[in-house]
Amino acid sequence: MNIPLIQGMFSASDAIDLITQMIHVKIKFQESKINSTSSEEEIKMRERRIKELQKDLYEARKEIESKSGSAMEMQAIIEVK
């Protein structure tokens, strides 16, 4: 089963806004799991994932801003197996 979340052409500002919001949702999810997790190993894993997401967001923003004059195509699909 596939769920198409994002599909189409977006301005640079809309693309940044959409990616930022999606990554923030993922970060909040990880943070909520940290609050309910007691294992130190699992907490560290989730903290690493949050840092990766923050880094990915920074790099995506930088890439998109370098192309700010043009529209860009974006696609995001959730694949449930």
pLDDT at 35: 78
pLDDT at 36: 77
- Candidates 37, 33, 27, 22; CA nearest to 75 is 22
**Dihedral of CA 54/55/60/63: which sign?**
positive
* Tens-digit pLDDT string for the chain (81 aa): 999 999 999 999 999 999 999 999 999 999 998 877 678 899 999 999 999 999 999 999 999 988 877 889 999 999 999
Domain ranges of the chain: 2-79
Calculate the alpha carbon distances from 8 to 16, 33, 49 in Å: 14, 32, 28
Contact between 75 and 5 under an 8 Å Cβ cutoff? The reply is no
pLDDT at 39: 85
pTM of model > 0.95: no
pLDDT at 53: 97
